[in-house]
């Protein structure tokens, strides 16, 4: 992972979930894995798909779509698991497709509209960028990427409620 | 004297504000007593550290040609060279042990009087053959609480090495102790150091009288240098962070798994080639070695017992001696850290309740001094830590009466001796009439049992009235490995800790009967044992339709609910699994003790029997009446 970014620049990994494009900070990403059916756990919320073996460590796999309250994503050949580190804990997120790694300017991040009710927003901000996928489709102009706030997605808080 | 050192270290602690001031008046009195009796006067003043050398000087006379030495009386400290020659001239006899002992600087302030160790060696027939004064600073720089002198002691060859190491059981870990056979250790500087200049003279004169002694002069000088590196290995250790070790362990585990996956992919013919078995043997050896890195001698836990025992003996006015065996038994570091508290409680119990007062002991025809035997041994994958006393044993009538009084058992309950013994581990139980500094709070043995059980072990109690009581902690060798039964539930594999399994039953038609809509019992040799369907507990509804006859019932034993049957689909295997915590990346899940990675890389969840069948589960309450 390079640290030679110019000040104010951030590398993000973009991925698609349903029709939306999301992004997470590159620095919290550990690896991208192929989808592999995890071992289901009893007595946990539906969005925890189970646990999987990441080089000897037991890592929970979370269906990000369900976690955000959407329809569960259908598993297909491009489904993959983004293994991230959230506050020292590792978790895998099931996403539909990883699209790109893009460089964004921190100044361009717009705050997320404050519309959510109940739990704190998991969207850290919005940023417009061009991804390879959008270029390939010949789409003119930028696409909107929703930056996820991993800390807010962090499992521990929800776990406490679930447990 | 030892008490004096304990008090001294208490003063240090008090000065650091960690403790209250100890009662030193009593200790001073005791010290005066010792002084009056002329016992070990050299220990009263800490400055007397060099004294043992002088005291021990006389055993030098043991050298066979003592007569010759006496003629050189002013240099009576010198016969070291001669004695070495004596050993050399008898090569067919096994060389005697040469023990060098360099107490750590803090030995005196910690109560580890080196003199006592030297005395102990002398009891074995050893004699001091030299003292290393090289560390001795000038008088002005001397700290009276430091021990500067190292000793070289010769111990007869017939003594077992273990007997010698036993003498050093409780020395400070910083002390340097080397035990070698033969004469390789030349005393670095014969005592006293002021006599160094005339050193040459007597050797020469001995040489003139007894020509064979001449080469000794060279010999004394020569072995000194090869000896220097030999002292080194004791300090050649490195500190490694535990997380790094664990990571190494994980990676090796992964290596093993990948190896077996690779093996599965090869054709049977390729599998028989020699490289693959070699590779798997190597990886297994690496795995074993990494596991052993976490192991440490149990000595660490035992080393604080003598001090505790002395305090307890003073408080209770009882006479207690301690015997320890097996302190070199190696146990996982995690276990060592967690047995400290249980051990403390067990020792306290043994002194307070087990050992009688000296007067009572004499009345029973026993020696006034009670003995506590502390031992550790490894049997298979378990470690047995025993605390045995030769006291009065458990007063079962009293224990029973107390338990009834406290409402722990019903007044009309019929209890076996073993069951009564187990009562002392019940929460809130105490036979002490008053709460003392030592015991009577009723938490001690309860803590012992819960701590030991948290480690996956158990406590065994055996007591013979009038002869004493033995508490045995049976502990797993490592916390990282669990012996388990791999069972299948709704197509998923789970690990059932073998320690909980009592038996497995293939139910006959009609043997499992429903009692309520959710509760079932199994008839087992006339008893009814509640049965739980794990698929239902975990909400795997898909094979609820499976009839009991197609399933297996595993009878497990739990602390809170007694015997309970768990219904599973099949049993796959029985094997040792490496425990991975779920908490590391998730949160604890009720009913699961962790997870493990099976040989094919997939994950199996480890069942926590206590939580699964524990009191909070509603099914048990329904069936309890029938089972009882």
Q: Give the count of beta carbons closer than 10 Å to the beta carbon of residue B260.
A: 15
**Inter-chain touch A39–B595, beta carbons under 8 Å:** yes
Q: Is A2 part of any domain?
A: no
Please tell me which residue, B254 or B569, carries the higher pLDDT value.
B569
Band (pLDDT 50/70/90 cuts) for residue B157 is: confident
pLDDT greater than 70 at residue A41: yes
pLDDT at B307: 87
Query: Residues for chain B: how many in total?
Result: 628
**Inter-chain touch A51–B582, beta carbons under 8 Å:** yes
pLDDT greater than 80 at residue B160: no
pLDDT at B81: 43
DSSP letter, residue B354? I
ipTM computed for the complex: 0.74
The answer to which of A78-82, B181-185, B476-480, B530-534 has the lowest mean pLDDT is B181-185
Which residue blocks in B323-473 are alpha helix, DSSP H?
333-349, 358-363, 396-405, 417-423, 444-454
pLDDT at A159: 43
pLDDT at B82: 41
> In which element (H, E) is residue A146 found?
strand A143-148
Instruction: Give 3-state DSSP helix, strand, coil % of chain B, rounded to 5.
Output: 45, 20, 35
Q: Is A3 part of any domain?
A: no
Q: How far is CA B540 from the centre of its chain?
A: 44
Residue % of chain A over a pLDDT of 70: 74
pLDDT at B84: 42
DSSP letter, residue B352? I
The single residue listed with the structure tokens 């074995």 is B124
By C-alpha distance, which of A140, A145, A111 is closest to A128?
A: A145
Average pLDDT, chain B: 70
Question: Cβ-count burial of B195 within 10 angstroms (0-12 exposed, 13-18 middle, 19+ buried)?
Answer: middle
The answer, for A57 touching chain B at a CB cutoff of 8 Å, is yes
Determine the Cα–Cα distance for residues B96 and B230; give it in Å rounded to an integer: 18
Please tell me which residue, B276 or B24, carries the higher pLDDT value.
B276
Q: Which of A33, A53, A156 to mutate to test the interface with B (most CBs of B within 10 A)?
A: A53
* Mean pLDDT, rounded, for B482-500: 83
For the sheet with B552-558, list strands across it: B501-505, B552-558, B562-568, B527-533, B520-524, B512-514
φ and ψ at B296, to 5 degrees? -135, 150
pLDDT greater than 80 at residue B149: no
Please tell me which residue, B194 or A155, carries the higher pLDDT value.
A155
For A7-39, how does the pLDDT look when each residue is reduced to its tens digit (9 = 90+)?
A: 677 888 888 887 788 888 888 888 888 888 888
For A108-149, how does the pLDDT look when each residue is reduced to its tens digit (9 = 90+)?
A: 777 776 655 455 566 777 777 765 555 555 555 567 788 887
For B539-579, how does the pLDDT look when each residue is reduced to its tens digit (9 = 90+)?
A: 766 555 667 777 888 888 876 778 888 888 888 877 777 77
* Mean pLDDT, rounded, for B19-24: 53
Which residue blocks in B441-542 are alpha helix, DSSP H?
444-454, 534-537
Band (pLDDT 50/70/90 cuts) for residue B31 is: low
**Inter-chain touch A59–B595, beta carbons under 8 Å:** no
Band (pLDDT 50/70/90 cuts) for residue B432 is: low
Q: Which of B245, B249, B491, B587 to mutate to test the interface with A (most CBs of A within 10 A)?
A: B587
Question: With left for phi above 0 and alpha for psi between -120 and 50, is residue A62 left, alpha or beta?
Answer: beta
Determine the Cα–Cα distance for residues B203 and A124; give it in Å rounded to an integer: 87
For A51-103, how does the pLDDT look when each residue is reduced to its tens digit (9 = 90+)?
A: 888 877 888 888 888 877 777 777 778 888 888 888 778 888 888 888 888 88
Most confident region among B20-29, B76-85, B208-217, B589-598 by mean pLDDT: B589-598
- Count CA within 13 A, CB hemisphere, residue B526: 0
pLDDT greater than 60 at residue B59: no
Band (pLDDT 50/70/90 cuts) for residue B598 is: confident
- Contact B386/B373 with Cβ under 8 angstroms? yes
Band (pLDDT 50/70/90 cuts) for residue B56 is: very low
pLDDT greater than 60 at residue A3: no
Query: Least CA distance to B257: which residue of chain A?
Result: A56
pLDDT greater than 50 at residue B186: no
* Mean pLDDT, rounded, for B183-203: 42
The answer, for B260 touching chain A at a CB cutoff of 8 Å, is no
By C-alpha distance, which of B527, B522, B532 is closest to B616?
A: B532
Q: Quote the radius of gyration of chain B (alpha carbons, Å).
A: 32
φ and ψ at B590, to 5 degrees? -60, 130
Determine the Cα–Cα distance for residues B604 and B484; give it in Å rounded to an integer: 11
pLDDT at A131: 58
Please tell me which residue, B584 or B324, carries the higher pLDDT value.
B324
Asked if the bond preceding B173 is cis, omega within 30° of 0, the reply is no
- Residue B468's beta-bridge partner residues? B464
Determine the Cα–Cα distance for residues A41 and A48; give it in Å rounded to an integer: 8
pLDDT greater than 60 at residue B42: no
Q: Which residues of A touch B539 (CB under 8 A)?
A: 42-43
| CATH value at residue A42 | 2.40.50.180
Least CB-CB distance to A53: which of B539, B584, B601? B601
Least CB-CB distance to A39: which of B584, B586, B605? B605
By C-alpha distance, which of B189, B201, B212 is closest to B84?
A: B212
pLDDT greater than 70 at residue B282: yes
pLDDT at B12: 61
Least CB-CB distance to B591: which of A43, A51, A159? A43
Report how many domains make up chain A. Answer: 1
Residue % of chain B over a pLDDT of 70: 63
- Count CA within 13 A, CB hemisphere, residue B237: 8
pLDDT at B76: 42
Residue % of chain B over a pLDDT of 90: 0
By C-alpha distance, which of B172, B201, B199 is closest to B188?
A: B199
DSSP letter, residue B189? B
Please tell me which residue, B454 or B83, carries the higher pLDDT value.
B454
pLDDT greater than 80 at residue A4: no
pLDDT at B440: 52
Q: Is A163 part of any domain?
A: no
pLDDT at B626: 27
By C-alpha distance, which of B493, B562, B491, B559 is closest to B524?
A: B562
- Count CA within 13 A, CB hemisphere, residue B263: 18
Q: Which residues of A touch B480 (CB under 8 A)?
A: none
pLDDT at B437: 56
pLDDT at B313: 86
- Count CA within 13 A, CB hemisphere, residue B445: 23
Q: Which domain holds residue A154?
A: 9-158
A61 to chain B nearest CA, in Å? 10
Least CB-CB distance to B603: which of A51, A156, A163? A51
Q: Is A91 part of any domain?
A: yes
pLDDT at B60: 45
Band (pLDDT 50/70/90 cuts) for residue B224 is: very low
A58 to chain B nearest CA, in Å? 7
* Mean pLDDT, rounded, for B235-239: 75
The pairing of beta strand A89-95 with beta strand A57-63: parallel
Q: Is A76 part of any domain?
A: yes
For B119-140, how does the pLDDT look when each residue is reduced to its tens digit (9 = 90+)?
A: 777 777 777 777 777 777 777 7
Query: Least CA distance to B596: which residue of chain A?
Result: A58
Q: Is A48 part of any domain?
A: yes
pLDDT greater than 70 at residue B279: yes
* Mean pLDDT, rounded, for B365-385: 84
Q: Is A140 part of any domain?
A: yes
Determine the Cα–Cα distance for residues B439 and B353; give it in Å rounded to an integer: 9
Which residues, 6+ apart, have CB-to-CB distance to B371 below 8 Å? Answer: B320, B321, B322, B323, B389, B390
Q: Is A53 part of any domain?
A: yes
Band (pLDDT 50/70/90 cuts) for residue B201 is: very low
Q: Sign of the CA dihedral B545, B548, B549, B554?
A: positive
By C-alpha distance, which of B70, B80, B57 is closest to B213?
A: B80
């Amino acid at each position: 992972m390079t640290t030679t970014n110019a000040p104010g620049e951030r590398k993000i990994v973009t991925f698609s979930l349903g029709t939306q494009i999301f992004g997470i900070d590159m620095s919290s990403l550990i690896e991208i894995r192929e989808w592999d059916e995890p071992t289901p756990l009893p007595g946990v919320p539906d969005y925890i798909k189970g646990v999987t073996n990441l080089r000897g460590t037991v890592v929970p796999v979370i269906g990000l779509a369900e976690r955000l309250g959407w329809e569960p994503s259908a598993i297909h050949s491009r489904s993959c698991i983004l293994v991230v580190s959230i506050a020292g804990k590792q978790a895998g997120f099931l996403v539909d497709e990883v699209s790109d790694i893009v460089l964004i300017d921190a100044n361009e991040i717009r705050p997320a509209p404050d519309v959510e009710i109940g739990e704190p927003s998991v969207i850290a901000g919005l940023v417009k960028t061009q991804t390879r996928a959008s270029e390939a489709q010949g789409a003119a102009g930028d696409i909107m990427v929703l930056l996820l706030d991993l800390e807010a997605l962090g499992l521990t808080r929800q776990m406490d409620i679930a447990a | 004297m030892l008490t004096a050192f304990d008090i001294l270290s208490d003063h240090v602690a008090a000065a650091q504000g960690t403790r209250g001031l100890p009662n030193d008046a009593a200790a001073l009195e005791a010290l005066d007593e010792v002084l009056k009796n002329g016992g070990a006067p050299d220990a009263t003043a800490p400055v007397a550290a060099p004294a043992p050398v002088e005291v021990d000087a006389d055993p030098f006379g043991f050298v066979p040609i003592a007569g010759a030495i006496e003629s050189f009386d002013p240099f009576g400290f010198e016969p070291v060279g001669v004695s070495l020659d004596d050993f050399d001239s008898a090569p067919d006899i096994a060389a005697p042990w040469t023990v060098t002992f360099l107490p750590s600087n803090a030995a005196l302030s910690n109560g580890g009087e080196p003199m006592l160790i030297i005395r102990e060696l002398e009891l074995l027939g050893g004699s001091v053959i030299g003292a290393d004064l090289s560390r001795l600073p000038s008088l002005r720089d001397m700290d009276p609480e430091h021990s500067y002198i190292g000793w070289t002691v010769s111990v007869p060859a017939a003594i077992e090495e273990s007997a010698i190491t036993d003498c050093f059981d409780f020395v400070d870990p910083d002390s340097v102790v080397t035990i070698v056979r033969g004469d390789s250790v030349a005393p670095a500087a014969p005592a006293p150091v002021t006599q160094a200049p005339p050193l040459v003279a007597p050797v020469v004169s001995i040489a003139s009288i007894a020509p064979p002694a001449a080469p000794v002069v060279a010999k004394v000088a020569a072995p000194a240098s090869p000896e220097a590196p030999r002292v080194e290995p004791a300090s050649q250790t490195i500190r490694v962070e535990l997380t790094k070790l664990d990571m190494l362990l994980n990676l090796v585990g992964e290596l093993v798994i990948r190896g077996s996956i690779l093996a599965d992919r090869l054709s049977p013919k390729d599998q028989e080639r020699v490289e693959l078995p070699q590779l798997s043997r190597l990886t297994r050896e690496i795995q074993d070695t990494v596991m052993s890195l976490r192991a440490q001698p149990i000595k660490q836990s035992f080393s604080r017992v003598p001090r505790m025992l002395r305090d307890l003996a003073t408080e209770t006015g009882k006479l207690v001696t301690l015997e320890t065996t097996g302190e070199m038994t190696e146990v996982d570091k995690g276990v060592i850290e967690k047995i400290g508290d249980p051990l403390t409680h067990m020792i306290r119990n043994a002194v307070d309740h087990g050992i009688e007062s000296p007067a009572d002991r004499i009345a029973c025809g026993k020696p006034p001094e009670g003995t506590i035997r502390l031992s550790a041994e490894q049997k298979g994958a378990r470690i047995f830590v025993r605390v045995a006393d030769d006291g009065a044993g458990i007063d079962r009538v009293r224990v029973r009466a107390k338990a009834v009084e406290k409402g722990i058992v019903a007044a009309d309950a019929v209890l076996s001796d073993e069951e009564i013994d187990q009562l002392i581990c019940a929460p809130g139980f105490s036979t002490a009439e008053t709460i003392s500094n030592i015991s009577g709070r009723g938490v001690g043995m309860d803590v012992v049992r819960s701590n030991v059980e948290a480690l996956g072990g158990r406590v065994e109690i055996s007591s013979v009235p009038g002869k004493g009581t033995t508490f045995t902690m049976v502990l797993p060798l490592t916390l990282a490995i669990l012996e388990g039964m791999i069972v299948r539930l709704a197509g998923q594999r789970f690990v059932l800790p073998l320690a909980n399994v009592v038996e497995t039953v293939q139910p006959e038609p009609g043997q499992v009967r429903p009692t309520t809509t959710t509760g079932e019992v199994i008839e087992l040799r006339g008893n009814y044992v509640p049965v739980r369907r794990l698929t239902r507990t975990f909400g795997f509804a898909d094979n609820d339709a499976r009839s009991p006859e197609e399933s297996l019932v595993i009878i497990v034993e739990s602390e809170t609910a007694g015997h309970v049957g768990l219904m599973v689909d099949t049993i796959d295997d029985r094997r040792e699994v490496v425990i991975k915590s779920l908490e590391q990346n998730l949160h604890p899940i009720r009913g699961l003790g962790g997870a493990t990675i099976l040989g094919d890389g997939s994950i199996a969840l480890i069942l926590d029997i206590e939580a699964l069948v524990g009191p909070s589960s509603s099914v048990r309450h329904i069936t309890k009446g029938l089972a009882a």
